[in-house]
């Protein structure tokens, strides 16, 4: 059919006449204009919202709450948030990791043997639902085999043990992948963590990351929301410049546009615990429900974990889709990350000194303590810190806050809080109105709450009843800070008395220990440090004698790296940073003679410190052995035998001889030769334990490098029964040669049967 030009012109004319009929009505024109305006402003919406977020980040930088150069990726919380931000793109990464876990010979063998339902591979097009199913299926199978079902053991024989042990590794990895899968398929997440954990830093970095990738990010601090959440966002972001009253239709339009652009609208609300407004808290549920309808809107909250369970969890649990709880403390920080944080802080706070040994280990235990340390020592140079005195740091930190919050006397307020806690026998919190602050002081005090020392929380008393009332309470952020303030308060009270009398203090401590109250441990540690610094050794001895054997934690805690001893007395002594005194060595000797476990703990502690060039290494062990020899030489020999015996090996899977040899070899390799202290210790072991013949080569080397070592030891241990054993070593023929062949072994065994002593052969 031929189409002529006339036909085309007629068609165009018809379209024009139809359009002009339509456009002749004003209503249609208005609707089209509105749609075009919406599209126009929707495209510029991203700039408008992101600009406000950048202003918010700048505000946090000015206040010192966010320091971009201090950000270090400590754990996998940041990786989980990336899955949250880019679920579509990172799905392939998740599938690749899943497939990689099972792409090996071991997995194929396991599948052939146990269960054909084990999923070894996911296709690249699998969605999150399928991935979730596959991970769950595999986790169930491995959980089944970890519980050692006897029927399976009969069916597959010895291979069962391999599957049981392998399941541990599979489960670890699969659990990690499951968390990624869950967070990616959620539209809202709550990031929890304790004070100073880096939540605000993480949120700021996250917002910068999503803005750089073309997403829309509305970042706001919770304390700025004075009304309901929904109203706040409507006014601030959606209707302010646009004069549009229908937010719902606006969000619906944004949702469609974002779908085509494959981007998201992120709403980040930082520190919801800092907003005590009841309307805000109750509006969280409605806000979450309203935005849950839009698949292209994602919400990220941050909250301190101390408040989350008690206050906010119930609101989030009652939402349509409860959010995913990302606890940043559930991930471990590796040593490299901690070193990186330390170096970053050093650069930022211009600290040019060195931090080594036990001080470094203590800082790594708590990032908040690290932050406080650098706040105190910023711009300090030429300092070499090997020991960390927590109470000195807290004292200086309080002085800094005092200066910052003038004319408010912050130190006085802390003392009043501590005194109120002691009077009320309640160490969790104190009512704010009991401080009797004036209105100006109250305003200054609220500003001072950002310093990570004290926090306030509003709680509802007798909720839902006639006598319901709100109550504002003050809490210490850090338990150790609280213990420091309480012990300081009590000691000041006692020392202000004339004559000086600590009876009240001991009465108070007895009460704490009897009731097993939380500040007991901290109060004892800080008071011991105080008495030590004041050289009040009588009080120190009394504390060790009366409270040294108190147990504040379950026996299992003694295997924790942070608690090298189960003896509380030993822990107290080591918190003081000065050189140990005679009575302290005697205390170590007494507890070591009383219990082999304490002796083993002490030995491991000393050797570990020696290897790391920390304080309290071999010198500590040699002094303790000297005191043990003076107190009870027979028990000392028994303790030494106990170390090298088979019984030790059962508990620790490797014998002490192996472990000690490893220590000697690694120190030898690192330093070229054994230090004199370690040689002395080895000689003492050799002289007291006949079965320690494997140490012969180290002793021979030691005597070559330090010819007078045995004489020096005899002088040091003069008056003790060890001297007799050491005298034997002076004669070279008495040193036992190692057994190098089976013939020699049989020869020795024949001679052993003929001797009547413990095995030292007189050639």
697 binds other proteins (CB under 8 A): no
User: Beta strand pairing status for 297-304 and 265-270?
Assistant: parallel
The residue range among 33-41, 105-113, 393-401, 521-529 that interacts with other proteins, by the rule CB under 8 A, is 105-113
Q: How far is the CB of 207 from other proteins (least distance, A)?
A: 12
Q: How far is the CB of 177 from other proteins (least distance, A)?
A: 11
Place of tokens 């299926």: 137
Q: How far is the CB of 659 from other proteins (least distance, A)?
A: 11
Cα–Cα distance measured from residue 729 to residue 708, given in angstroms and rounded to the nearest whole number: 12
641 binds other proteins (CB under 8 A): no
- Could you tell me which residues are beta bridge partners of residue 216? 265
Q: How far is the CB of 429 from other proteins (least distance, A)?
A: 37
The residue range among 161-169, 387-395, 564-572, 687-695 that interacts with other proteins, by the rule CB under 8 A, is 161-169
Cβ proximity to other proteins: between 175 and 318 the closer is 175
# residues near other proteins by CB under 8 A = 31
The residue range among 54-62, 115-123, 164-172, 576-584 that interacts with other proteins, by the rule CB under 8 A, is 164-172
Q: How far is the CB of 41 from other proteins (least distance, A)?
A: 26
- Could you tell me which residues are beta bridge partners of residue 191? 302, 326
Kindly tell me which residue out of 45, 170, 238, 531 binds other proteins, with binding defined by CB under 8 A: 170
Cβ proximity to other proteins: between 82 and 311 the closer is 82
631 binds other proteins (CB under 8 A): no
Q: How far is the CB of 556 from other proteins (least distance, A)?
A: 18
Cβ proximity to other proteins: between 431 and 612 the closer is 612
Kindly tell me which residue out of 42, 156, 162, 494 binds other proteins, with binding defined by CB under 8 A: 162
Which has the closest alpha carbon to 253: 41, 49, 47, 52?
Answer: 41
The residue range among 116-124, 170-178, 267-275, 752-760 that interacts with other proteins, by the rule CB under 8 A, is 170-178
Q: What SS3 class is residue 574?
A: helix
Place of tokens 């800070």: 481
Cα–Cα distance measured from residue 587 to residue 543, given in angstroms and rounded to the nearest whole number: 12
Cβ proximity to other proteins: between 7 and 365 the closer is 365
What is the secondary structure of 582-648 as a DSSP string?
HHHHHHHHHHHHH-HHHHHHHHHHHHHHHHTT-SSSHHHHHHHHHHHHHH-HHHHHHHHHHHHSHHH
> Cα dist. 438→432, 442, 443, 445, 459 in Å?
12, 6, 9, 10, 22
Residue 417 has which token pair?
């809080």
Q: How far is the CB of 296 from other proteins (least distance, A)?
A: 19
295 binds other proteins (CB under 8 A): no
Q: How far is the CB of 93 from other proteins (least distance, A)?
A: 7
106 binds other proteins (CB under 8 A): yes
Q: How far is the CB of 214 from other proteins (least distance, A)?
A: 9
Residues 172-231 that bind other proteins (CB under 8 A): 172-173, 209, 212-213
The residue range among 86-94, 222-230, 264-272, 725-733 that interacts with other proteins, by the rule CB under 8 A, is 86-94
Cα–Cα distance measured from residue 300 to residue 203, given in angstroms and rounded to the nearest whole number: 9
Kindly tell me which residue out of 245, 318, 433, 662 binds other proteins, with binding defined by CB under 8 A: 662
Beta-carbon contacts of 586 under 8 Å, excluding residues fewer than 6 positions away, are 627, 631
The residue range among 87-95, 320-328, 474-482, 635-643 that interacts with other proteins, by the rule CB under 8 A, is 87-95
348 binds other proteins (CB under 8 A): no
Cβ proximity to other proteins: between 73 and 578 the closer is 73
Cβ proximity to other proteins: between 449 and 649 the closer is 649
Q: What is the DSSP letter of 434?
A: G
Cα–Cα distance measured from residue 138 to residue 121, given in angstroms and rounded to the nearest whole number: 11
101 binds other proteins (CB under 8 A): yes
Cβ proximity to other proteins: between 162 and 292 the closer is 162
- Contact predicate 581/537, CB 8 Å: yes
334 binds other proteins (CB under 8 A): yes
Question: Phi then psi for 71, rounded to 5 degrees?
Answer: -75, 130
367 binds other proteins (CB under 8 A): no
> Cα dist. 708→88, 259, 678, 705 in Å?
73, 83, 15, 9
- Contact predicate 626/714, CB 8 Å: no
Residues 50-79 that bind other proteins (CB under 8 A): 72-73
Cα–Cα distance measured from residue 121 to residue 99, given in angstroms and rounded to the nearest whole number: 5
Residue 240 has which token pair?
């302010």
Kindly tell me which residue out of 46, 82, 637, 639 binds other proteins, with binding defined by CB under 8 A: 82
Give a three-class secondary structure readout of 245-287: CCHHHHHHHHHHHHHHHCCCEEEEEECHHHCCCHHHHHHHHHH
Which has the closest alpha carbon to 603: 652, 668, 547, 554?
Answer: 652
Cβ proximity to other proteins: between 49 and 94 the closer is 94
Residue 680 has which token pair?
């002395």
Residue 748 has which token pair?
């020795």
Side by side, the strands of the sheet bearing 265-270 are 216-221, 265-270, 297-304, 188-193, 324-327
The residue range among 89-97, 249-257, 630-638, 703-711 that interacts with other proteins, by the rule CB under 8 A, is 89-97
Q: How far is the CB of 147 from other proteins (least distance, A)?
A: 17
Q: How far is the CB of 130 from other proteins (least distance, A)?
A: 21
Kindly tell me which residue out of 235, 240, 262, 336 binds other proteins, with binding defined by CB under 8 A: 336
Kindly tell me which residue out of 48, 65, 93, 132 binds other proteins, with binding defined by CB under 8 A: 93
- Could you tell me which residues are beta bridge partners of residue 474? 430, 456
Cβ neighbour number for residue 498 with a 10 Å cutoff: 6
Q: How far is the CB of 138 from other proteins (least distance, A)?
A: 11
The residue ranges that bind other proteins (CB under 8 A) are: 72-73, 82, 86, 89-90, 93, 100-101, 103-107, 162, 165-166, 169-170, 172-173, 209, 212-213, 334-337, 339-340, 662
């Amino acid at each position: 059919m031929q189409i002529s030009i006339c036909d085309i012109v007629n068609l165009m004319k018809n379209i024009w006449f139809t359009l002009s009929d339509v456009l002749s009505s004003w209503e249609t024109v208005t609707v089209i204009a509105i749609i075009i305006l919406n599209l126009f402003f929707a495209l510029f919406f991203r700039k408008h919202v992101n600009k406000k977020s950048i202003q918010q980040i700048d505000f946090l930088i000015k206040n010192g709450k966010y320091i971009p150069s201090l950000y270090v990726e400590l754990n996998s919380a940041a990786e989980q948030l990336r899955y949250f931000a880019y679920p579509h793109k990172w799905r392939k990464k998740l599938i690749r990791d899943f497939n990689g876990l099972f792409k090996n010979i071991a997995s194929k063998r396991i599948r052939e043997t146990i269960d054909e339902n084990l999923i070894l591979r996911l296709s690249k097009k699998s969605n999150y639902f399928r991935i979730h199913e596959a991970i769950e299926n595999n986790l169930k199978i491995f959980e089944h085999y970890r519980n050692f079902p006897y029927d399976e053991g009969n069916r597959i024989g010895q291979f069962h043990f391999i599957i049981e042990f392998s399941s541990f590794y599979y489960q670890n990895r699969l659990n990690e992948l499951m968390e990624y899968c869950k967070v990616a398929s959620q539209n809202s997440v709550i990031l929890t963590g304790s004070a100073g954990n880096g939540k605000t830093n993480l949120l700021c970095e996250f917002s910068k990351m999503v803005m750089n990738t073309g997403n829309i990010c509305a970042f706001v601090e919770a304390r700025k929301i004075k009304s309901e959440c929904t109203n706040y966002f409507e006014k601030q972001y959606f209707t302010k410049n646009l004069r549009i009253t229908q937010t719902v239709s606006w969000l619906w339009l944004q949702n469609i546009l974002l779908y085509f652009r494959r981007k998201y609208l992120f709403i980040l609300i930082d520190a919801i615990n800092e907003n005590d407004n009841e309307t805000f808290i109750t509006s969280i549920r409605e806000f979450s429900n309203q935005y849950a309808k839009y698949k292209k809107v994602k919400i990220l909250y941050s909250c301190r974990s101390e408040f989350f369970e008690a206050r906010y969890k119930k609101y989030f649990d009652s939402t349509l889709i409860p959010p995913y709880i990302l606890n940043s403390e559930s991930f471990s920080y590796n040593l490299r990350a901690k070193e990186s944080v330390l170096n970053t802080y050093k650069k930022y706070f211009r600290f040019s000194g060195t931090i080594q040994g036990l001080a470094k280990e203590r800082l790594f235990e708590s990032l908040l303590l690290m932050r406080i340390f650098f706040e105190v020592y910023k711009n300090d140079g030429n300092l070499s810190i090997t020991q960390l005195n927590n109470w000195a740091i807290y004292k200086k930190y309080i002085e800094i806050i005092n200066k910052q919050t003038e004319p408010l006397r912050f130190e006085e307020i802390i003392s009043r809080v501590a005194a109120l806690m002691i009077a009320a026998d309640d160490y969790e919190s104190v009512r704010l109105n009991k401080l009797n602050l004036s209105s100006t002081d109250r305003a200054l005090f609220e500003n001072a709450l950002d310093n990570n020392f004290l926090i306030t929380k509003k709680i509802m008393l007798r909720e839902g009843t006639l006598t319901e009332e709100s109550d504002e309470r003050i809490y210490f952020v850090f338990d150790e800070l609280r213990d420091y303030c309480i012990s300081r308060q009590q000691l000041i009270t006692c020392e202000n008395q004339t004559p000086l009398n600590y009876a009240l203090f001991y009465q108070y401590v007895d009460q704490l220990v009897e009731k097993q109250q939380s500040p007991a441990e901290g109060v004892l540690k800080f008071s011991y440090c105080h008495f030590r610094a004041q050289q009040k050794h009588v009080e120190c001895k009394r504390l060790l004698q009366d409270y040294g054997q108190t147990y504040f934690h379950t026996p299992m805690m003694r295997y924790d790296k942070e608690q090298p001893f189960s003896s509380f007395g030993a822990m107290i002594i080591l918190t003081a940073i000065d050189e140990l005194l005679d009575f302290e060595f005697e205390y170590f000797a007494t507890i070591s003679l009383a219990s082999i476990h304490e002796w083993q703990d002490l030995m491991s502690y000393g050797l570990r410190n020696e290897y790391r060039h920390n304080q309290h290494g071999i010198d500590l062990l040699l002094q303790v052995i000297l005191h043990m020899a003076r107190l009870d030489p027979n028990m000392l020999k028994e303790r030494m035998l106990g170390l090298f015996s088979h019984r030790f090996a059962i508990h620790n899977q490797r014998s002490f001889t192996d472990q000690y040899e490893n220590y000697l070899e690694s120190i030898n390799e690192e330093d070229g030769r054994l230090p004199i202290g370690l040689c002395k210790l080895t000689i003492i072991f050799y002289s007291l334990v006949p079965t320690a013949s494997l140490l012969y080569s180290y002793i021979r080397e030691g005597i070559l490098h330090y010819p007078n070592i045995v004489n020096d030891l005899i002088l040091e241990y003069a008056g003790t029964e060890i001297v007799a054993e050491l005298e034997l070593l002076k004669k070279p023929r008495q040193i036992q040669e190692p057994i190098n062949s089976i013939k020699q072994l049989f020869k020795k065994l024949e001679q052993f049967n003929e001797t009547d002593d413990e095995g030292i052969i007189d050639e």
